Amino acid sequence: MNNILVTGASTGIGYATTLRLAKHATVYAGVRSEADYVNLGALGGNIVPVYLEVTDGSSIARAKATIDERTGGKLDAIVNNAGIVVAAPLEVVEPAEFQRQFAVNVMGPLLVTQAFLPRIRASKGRIVTIGSIGGKMALPYIGPYAASKFAIEALMDALRLEMVQFGVRVILIEPGAIKTPLWQRTQTASAGSIERIPPDMLPLYAEPIRKMRVLSSKIEAGAIEPDRVAEVIERALAAKNPRARYLVGTDARVQLAIGRLPEFVRDRLIGSMLAGIK
């Protein structure tokens, strides 16, 4: 593969993937800020930063024009990585925040894929999207995030079947806990959700959210490095017959097993885990 687009390339999985893929391909690294553009540009080599806000059609169109100009309209793969976390009890989550969660995590990959799909179809290339084990099993108080990842599962299933006739491979990466700024943002979002709870409802949710934050911190302590995910992405792009899904991380496999339990067993297990947190 010669030309690859990676969205959300400034940190975490996107950054690690950009560095890894740039060893053997030109990577168009999608960023939103000038600082990130400059930082990635300074790396040189096969890394070409492009301004790309995945929720903005005009931004996507400009990025497409830039990439077309440099490549002659040739693109071999997309890595849909950009994402955010909205954490809050569903009873009190702000509609605008819920919409923002879906705008970035669901509409973003769709809009980027739509824009570049003619190029991918022409090259019989690949579309890789970063999902989450959270798209298999939802945990309390991160319902908006889990809902967006469940949606990505369905979106990529449908796209995979639609692309078979064109020889385009559609691949979903499902990581568990990764050492990325997303975890810090999750903790911040969780703390912020407590602040936004109406005072009369605070006694209902403050303690459960605190326990969920403690559990998240324990999970974070065992998180794997982003390059582990980048390595899987690289392998999926290179494989002659890539799998439709790649689980990444031991905790992802554990959570998948828990998610397959009968609901009453799973609910009791998660409930007991939270109840045991002091």
- The pLDDT assigned to 78 comes to 98
Structure token pair of residue 210: 């605190």
Query: What CATH number did the domain enclosing 260 receive?
Result: 3.40.50.720
The number of beta carbons lying within 10 Å of the beta carbon of residue 45 is: 10
Most distant CA pair in the chain: distance in Å?
A: 60
**CA-derived radius of gyration, the chain:** 19
- The pLDDT assigned to 244 comes to 97
Please report, as a single letter, which amino acid is at residue 261. L
pTM of the model: 0.91
Report the DSSP beta bridge partners of residue 28.
Answer: 5, 48
Question: Cα–Cα–Cα angle for 107, 108, 114, nearest 5°?
Answer: 85
Active site annotation includes 145? yes
Q: List the catalytic residue out of 141, 145, 205, 246.
A: 145
Q: Give the sheet arrangement for strand 245-248, strand by strand.
A: 47-51, 26-31, 3-6, 77-80, 126-130, 169-175, 245-248
pLDDT tens for the chain, 278 residues: list them.
899 999 999 999 999 999 999 999 999 999 999 999 999 999 989 999 999 999 999 999 999 999 999 999 999 999 999 999 998 899 989 899 999 999 999 999 999 999 999 999 999 999 999 999 999 999 898 999 999 999 999 999 999 999 999 999 999 999 988 887 655 555 555 555 666 678 888 888 888 888 888 877 777 777 889 999 999 999 999 999 999 999 998 889 988 999 999 999 999 998 888 888 87
Tally of structural domains, the chain: 1
**Residue 194 is part of which domain span?**
3-275
- The pLDDT assigned to 87 comes to 87
- In the chain, where does DSSP find H-type helix? 12-21, 34-41, 57-71, 95-102, 108-123, 143-163, 181-196, 202-221, 226-238, 250-259, 263-275
Burial of 161 (0-12, 13-18, 19+ CB in 10 A): exposed
- The pLDDT assigned to 161 comes to 98
- The pLDDT assigned to 186 comes to 55
